Structure 1
Amino acid sequence: MNCARCCTPLRLLLTVDTTEWDGGSGSWRPVEEPEAWGHALAAPTQVVVGRWGELNLFACPADPAHPHAWSIQ
């Protein structure tokens, strides 16, 4: 994505994900919680973005006053 004002490529500023880890397949789990399993344990904050996706917020590196951009995946 490019900045709407100056066309500079935007940089990822923040990602808000629905889950901390993949609660479905178990492909990754925290070392501190080896027995944890399922989506309820993978999403302790209970924040749901879209349909279990993630929100990415981008900022312009040339001027922080330029508008931010976002995408949901």
Structure 2
Amino acid sequence: MDCQTCTTPMELLLTIDSSEWDGGSGSWKPMEERALPAHPSARPTEVVVGRAGELNVFACPADRGHPHRWSIQ
């Protein structure tokens, strides 16, 4: 993603995910949480982005004053 002000490639600043691990398939799960049920254990904060996706926030490395951009996946 490029900065809309100066066209510099932006850097990922922050990702907010809807789950801490894959509650659907169990493809990744912390060892200490293996015995817990998939839901709501995978979402302890109860934050849901869009339709259970993730929010990525990007910042311009050339100038911190340029507007941030974001995407939801």
TM-score, L = length of structure 2: 0.95
Name the residue aligned to 1:23: 23
Q: Which structure 1 residue ranges, 4+ long, deviate > 3 Å from structure 2?
A: none
* Structure 2, gaps ≥5 residues long: none
Once the two structures are superposed, what CA deviation does each residue of 1:47-68 show, in whole Å capped at 9, x if it has no partner? 0000000000000000111000
Name the residue aligned to 2:33: 33
* Structure 1, gaps ≥5 residues long: none
Question: Secondary structure of 1:32's partner?
Answer: helix
What is the Cα deviation at residue 39 of structure 1? 2.8
What is the Cα deviation at residue 36 of structure 1? 2.0
What is the Cα deviation at residue 4 of structure 1? 0.7
Q: RMSD of aligned C-alpha atoms?
A: 0.8
What is the Cα deviation at residue 33 of structure 1? 1.3
TM-score, L = length of structure 1: 0.95
Q: Quick check: 1:11–1:58 contact (8 Å CA) kept in 2?
A: yes
Pairs within 5 Å for 1:51-66 = 51-66=51-66
Report how many aligned residue pairs link the two structures.
73
Once the two structures are superposed, what CA deviation does each residue of 1:1-32 show, in whole Å capped at 9, x if it has no partner? 10011000000000000000001111110122
The whole-number CA distance in structure 1 between the counterparts of 2:34 and 2:45 is 19
Identity %: 66
